Structure formats: structure tokens, C-alpha cells
Amino acid sequence: MVEITVRGAGIFGLSVAWACAQRGAAVQVVDPHGPAAGSSGGVVGALAPHVPENWNAKKAFQLDSLLMAEGFWRDVEAAGGGRSGYMRSGRLQPIADEAALGLARGREDTAQALWAAPAIWEVVPADNSPWQPPSPTGMLIRDTLSALIHPRQACDALVRALAAQGIEVVPDAPERGRTLWATGVAGLTALSANHHRSMGNGVKGQAALLQFDAAGAAQIFAGGVHIIPHLDGTVGVGSTSERDFDAPDTTDAQLDDVIAKACAAVPALRGAPVLARWAGVRPRARSRAPMLGAWPDRPDHFIANGGFKIGFGMAPKVAQVMADLMLEGRDAIPNGFQVEDNV
């Protein structure tokens, strides 16, 4: 039986631990701060694809992961009894002008060719329903690949699934067997200290959770803001992207602006109580793709980091390829995602 130590109980660490445990590995998860204590403890949860054009390995990897997500989270929920808040709800986006309308129509065909999946990208007329953003052209982009998840609930569902197999998240433990480092911004800082240039950095995000029940509706992306109608009767809105900041975990007027943009896109949200304000620092690898693979010059040590804004959407596929590598020595990590690509 292969022994695996996972350091970091965010979405990457928990997902890889789950995939390894499912394959019969003896797994321990270590995090001194507890599950989802960092950027994985947010409130938004937009699982949205990149635009279907200029196809590359990152987009193909993300497509695979989004298509895997329903089965992945169904199995997690069945194993532990938790609820992830996952739903493939689709997404609506307003179209600003005629130039953008032309681009959107062109992507209808490329989505059909590149996604090659039971998912569509199409231009549809707005119908002025309460859960639709105003569109200057009267047209919207609708895709059926986008999904949503509740980040905190999803991490809790993974913790419950692991606990059902006797695996607890512990604050400290000696390493056993092969070790995965999924330690977010702290991990990027440690990696950078051993190289001549930065391996990545932290980008602060601010988001809010509103009390408004639109469960089952499509998510909306408008004005640079994600509006996510969670299944529990709340709505997550966010987020900012701050390279320079004074405090990593406090909110300010920038979040007020995010909430205002969300209310402009969905007027029904005006007056909705704000249940929670969240701020955290998300790990962004230098390549901007997740950083996956063996840790150079450290035998039996591995890295899964750099989820940034797409960590939850990438998690099912990240879990698969890292389990392949650590348990079977099979490297299915695409170019651009390798640790060496960030050196």
C-alpha cells in the first residue's frame, strides 16, 4: 500500500487526498490551520470555462475537469453525506456592443467544434426576466458548460468523505511515504526562495454572500463580477483581483463596488442582506496555470499549487493526474502545468 502525506487542506490538497484514497493509498492530510482556512474558504464558486477559441492545453485540461465535476462531486457527497453545492447551472453574460456580438456568434461554432461535448455556447435574446442582466444589445451569451459550487461546503464535503474512510485532517504529523505540497501562497513563497525568480505570488480577492434565494438559476457574469445563486438560498458575488494590498483578510470599499455592480446586473438583489464579507489571498503561479508535478531535487515530494481563480473547476482533473503520478508514476500533466515551466 502506497503511503501519501498531503500537506495543505485546501481544494487541491483535499481533492488529491480523496483521489489517492479511492485508489487504495494510505493517506494522511496535514494542515495546521484546518480545512479551507485559506483561499479555498471563499463564498463565490464560479466553475466557468475559458472562451472556446485559441485552444491550448490549459483550456483542454479545464474542459476535461468541468466535464468530470458532476461525477466527482456526486461520489464525494455519497461517501460522506455532505453537500458540495455543485450544480451545472449554465451561465449568462450580457453583450455590450455589435463588435462583441460578432465575436460571441463566432464562438458558437468554435464551441461546437472544440468542446465536442454535451455543452453549448449560444447567443440568445434577453427576455427581461428578473434573473437576467441588462444587455445593451438585447442579447446574451448562454453556455451550458458552466457550473457552480459552494467552496466552503465543497471542502467540508471532501473532509466528510475522507473521514468516512478514517482519514482526518490533523494539525501536525511526520511525513509518511510520498508527500504532496498543496500549501497555496505560503508554498509559492517557499518555492520562490529557492530559485532566482518568483515562482508565483498571491492575489487578494474580496467577495460577499447575500441572502437571496435564486437556487437553480444560471450564474451571471456581468461588469467583471460573478453572481452565483447557491443552492442554499444565498448568492455569492465577487471578486476583486488585487496585486497590491495592505491586509490580506480584510474587506474595504472595493467590495462595496463589487456588490453595487452585482445589484446593477441583477436589480432584484438590491436590498438583499449581506450575510458575510470575505477576503483572502489566492495563489497564482508564474505561468498562470496550475503548477503540478514532482518537486525538482526532492525525491518523493510533489507540488499542486496555483489554483488562483479556477482551482475548484480544475480540482477533479488535478486530483486525477496527481494520483496518476504519485501512485503509478504516470505523468499525464500537460506542458505549461509542469513545475519546471515556472522556474
pLDDT value, residue 40: 97
* 170 closest CA partner among 71, 315, 62, 28: 28
- What is the band of 2 on the pLDDT scale with cuts at 50, 70, 90? very high
One-letter amino acid of 249: D
Predicted TM-score (pTM) of this structure = 0.96
Q: Is the dihedral of CA 9, 12, 15, 20 positive or negative?
A: negative
**Integer distance in angstroms from the first to the last C-alpha of the chain?**
33
CA distances from 308 to 39, 66, 82, 147, 251 (A): 8, 16, 25, 17, 19
For 248-266, the DSSP string reads TT---HHHHHHHHHHHHH-
Mean pLDDT to the nearest integer, 329-333: 96
Domain ranges in the chain?
Answer: 3-87+146-199+286-342
Q: Tell me the percentage of the chain whose pLDDT exceeds 90.
A: 90
Residue 304 · residue 17 · CB < 8 Å: no
DSSP SS3 for 36: coil
Crossing angle of helices 57-80 and 151-163, rounded to 10°: 60
Please determine, for residue 194, whether its predicted confidence score (pLDDT) is greater than 80. Answer: no
Q: Could you tell me which CATH class the domain 3-87+146-199+286-342 is placed in?
A: alpha beta
288: buried, middle or exposed (CB in 10 Å: 19+, 13-18, 0-12)? middle
pLDDT tens, 97-147?
Answer: 999 999 999 999 999 999 987 899 999 999 988 999 999 999 999 999 999
pLDDT per position as a tens digit, 5-53: 999 999 999 999 999 999 999 999 999 999 999 999 999 999 999 899 9
Is the model's pLDDT at 196 over the cut of 80? no
Nearest of 231, 296, 294, 222 to residue 263 by alpha carbon: 222
**pLDDT (tens digit per residue) in 143-187:** 999 999 999 999 999 999 999 999 999 999 999 999 999 999 999
Distant-in-sequence, close-in-space partners of 226: CB < 8 Å, separation ≥ 6: 44, 46, 48, 219, 220, 236, 237, 238, 239
* Rounded distance between C-alpha atoms, residue 135 and residue 146, angstroms: 20
pLDDT in tens, 47-63: 999 899 999 988 999 99
| pLDDT computed for residue 312 by the predictor | 98
Question: Is the pLDDT at 74 greater than 80, yes or no?
Answer: yes
- Over residues 270-285, the mean pLDDT reads 97
d(CA 17, CA 84): 17
**pLDDT bucket at 273, cuts 50 / 70 / 90:** very high
pLDDT at residue 343 above 80? no
**For all residues of the chain together, what is the average pLDDT?**
95
CA angle 116, 95, 212 (to 5 degrees): 90
Q: pLDDT confidence of 195, banded at 50, 70, 90?
A: confident
